[in-house]
């Protein structure tokens, strides 16, 4: 399978129709620059769409998916457990442009942090 690389800027979001024949022929179209920090400052409707597409597009390879299911089943069968992600600080959510969805209160904390620290939304 051949991957077709394409740089994307704000001006070229919508002329993607031109690239669809390449996508249909090659099977993979890699859109560069869509995840740069400069694209984090999008209108909320576009940001929500971007996060939703990224969430649904992300798939593990079958062996990884199977391993995850085995681990989850082992944890489930042995009773209650606690999972702690030590690297999911507030600034990670601020930088991604997505909301954690843990609660309305936490989403507001992340949104307020974005407003107070816009430097986190730009490239270093």
Residue 92: closest CA among 75, 77, 105, 109: 109
2: containing domain: 1-34
Residue 39 lies in a domain: no
pLDDT confidence of residue 124: 46
Residue 40 lies in a domain: no
Helix H or strand E segment including 43: none
CA 109 to chain centre: 19
State the burial class of residue 79 (Cβ atoms within 10 Å of its Cβ: 0-12, 13-18, 19+): exposed
Residue 94: closest CA among 45, 52, 37: 37
Answer yes or no: do 21 and 80 share one domain: no
Q: Which residues, 6+ apart, have CB-to-CB distance to 117 below 8 Å? A: 91, 94
Answer yes or no: do 52 and 23 share one domain: no
3-class DSSP state for residue 83? coil
Answer yes or no: do 24 and 50 share one domain: no
Residue 23 is classified by DSSP as H
> What's the total number of domains in the chain?
2
Residue 112 lies in a domain: yes
Query: pLDDT category, 3, cuts 50, 70, 90?
Result: very low
What is the percent of the chain where pLDDT is above 90? Answer: 0
Answer yes or no: do 72 and 103 share one domain: yes
Answer yes or no: do 99 and 51 share one domain: yes
Residue that wins the pLDDT comparison between 32 and 63: 63
1 pLDDT above the threshold of 50: no
């Amino acid at each position: 399978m051949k991957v077709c690389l394409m740089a994307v800027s704000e001006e070229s979001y919508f002329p993607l129709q031109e690239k669809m024949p390449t996508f249909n022929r090659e099977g993979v179209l890699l859109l560069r620059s869509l995840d740069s920090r400069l694209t984090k400052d999008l209108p909320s409707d576009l940001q929500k769409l971007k996060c939703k597409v990224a969430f649904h597009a992300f798939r593990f390879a079958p062996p990884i998916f199977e391993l995850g299911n085995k681990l989850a089943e082992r944890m489930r069968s042995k009773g209650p457990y606690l999972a702690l992600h030590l690297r999911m600080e507030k600034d990670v959510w601020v930088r991604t442009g997505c909301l954690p969805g843990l609660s309305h209160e936490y989403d507001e904390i992340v949104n307020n942090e974005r407003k107070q620290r816009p430097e986190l939304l730009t490239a270093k």
